[in-house]
Chains A and B, each alone.
Chain A
């Protein structure tokens, strides 16, 4: 009787201790997160005012950020599109409302899987891209649009490549394709079809295309 009572008491104590330990561990775990949530103080901004209006983030004032591009080029950026969440494959944004005329140029960011179309200093379009597989990588550098073809059909791959903007003589181009996750091209830049249609209308032969690896 006595030993049974002792045993049950010990068991109860063990259970309580286990519960206490779990609670303590939960508390310990919760604490560092609270510590992480406090951000480190950022260096004070040295540039101009940033204004968000509707679909755009504008840089106003004297100094505008510049983008350093492959080939040693620098481009001033006055506004970019406001896309607050990560885009999905096949998504794109095109907004050239109120953007004045200017030279069109394109920046392809291979690592971030993005393309940005600029008119002058303003970004007017952005989309998720497909790029070359490891075996056939997309070349980086500064290119110009060599040729435009609305209904192009690749002989090498026996595949339709609508709204094709050729960049190199050996066949690297920007063209419409089915942009899905997990797929790659043979060196081309694949963009959603509707985006490709707009880019095709926007770009002219000789326009600059920068591919950032």
Chain B
């Protein structure tokens, strides 16, 4: 009983302390604010308008008020500049089959084939060879910087506007074939396992 009274006293004291704190807070918050608004209100407003007037006197501070602020550091994007080389010397439009011709293995094979034949037969095959799609001979004579199968021309700039497209070979290579077959086998085995499992469970439930 005694302890219960003690609890009540402590609780009462705490409640009193809390209420008084809250009251003080309200007094200093609201009443102080009201007093400021009533007593020092005129001076306050005058000060405000004075600063406003001082700001408005300077066009720069008016500009600052309408400014969206300074720019942040993170920029989303901006359009890249065309490389100077690409802008200056456009590739000639006649080179329609350029990508086909630029395939290095074909080029080396042609070279190996043509050079001995050229030595053997002379002028006739030279003309023929000029008509053949030769990667090394034709463009090198006309436009030295254009044909380097390694991509020296396109790699020159920092940003490539359109890198040369890779030409898919018409016949799939053995690795591709084997991958596809492996995929089919995997799918097939999975299906078989699933039907087998279902049949088993059905049989079990029937039994």
Are A16 and B15 in touch, CB under 8 angstroms? yes
Binds A, one of B77-85, B118-126, B179-187, B194-202: B77-85
Q: Decide if A65 is an interface residue (CB 8 Å cutoff).
A: yes
Are A183 and B67 in touch, CB under 8 angstroms? no
Are A155 and B4 in touch, CB under 8 angstroms? no
Are B3 and A2 in touch, CB under 8 angstroms? yes
Are A8 and B68 in touch, CB under 8 angstroms? no
Are B66 and A87 in touch, CB under 8 angstroms? yes
The count of A-to-B residue pairs whose CB atoms sit within 8 angstroms is 160
B residues sitting closer than 8 Å to A (CB atoms) are 3-4, 6-7, 10-11, 14-15, 17-18, 21-22, 24-25, 28-29, 32-33, 36, 40, 44, 47-48, 50-51, 53-54, 56-60, 62-72, 74-79, 81-82, 87
Complex Cα spacing A136 to B32, Å? 54
Which chain A residue shows the least CB distance to B56?
Answer: A50
Report the interface size class on chain A: 35 or more
Kindly identify, within residues 1 to 55 of chain A, every residue whose CB is under 8 Å from any CB belonging to chain B: 1-2, 5-6, 8-9, 12-13, 15-17, 19-20, 23-24, 26-27, 30-31, 34, 38-45, 47, 50
Are B3 and A41 in touch, CB under 8 angstroms? no
Shortest distance between the CB of B42 and any CB in chain A (Å): 13
Binds B, one of A111-119, A145-153, A194-202: A111-119
9 closest Cβ pairs, A-B complex: A16-B14, A112-B67, A5-B3, A27-B25, A83-B66, A42-B50, A182-B76, A42-B54, A9-B7
Are B75 and A183 in touch, CB under 8 angstroms? yes
Complex Cα spacing A31 to B58, Å? 32
Which chain A residue shows the least CB distance to B15?
Answer: A16
* Contact partners of A114 in chain B: CB under 8 A: 63, 66-67
Q: Decide if A89 is an interface residue (CB 8 Å cutoff).
A: yes
Encoded as 1 (CB less than 8 Å from any B CB) or 0, chain A from 166 to 188 comes to 00000000000000111111100
Contacts beyond the supplied A16-B15, A182-B75: 8 A-B pairs with Cβ under 8 Å:
A13-B14, A30-B25, A38-B40, A39-B48, A43-B54, A67-B59, A112-B69, A183-B76
Which chain A residue shows the least CB distance to B16?
Answer: A16
Are B6 and A65 in touch, CB under 8 angstroms? no
Are B59 and A86 in touch, CB under 8 angstroms? no
Shortest distance between the CB of B12 and any CB in chain A (Å): 10
Query: CB within 8 A of A27: which of B3, B28, B68, B87?
Result: B28
Are B47 and A39 in touch, CB under 8 angstroms? yes
Q: Decide if A126 is an interface residue (CB 8 Å cutoff).
A: yes
Which chain A residue shows the least CB distance to B60?
Answer: A67
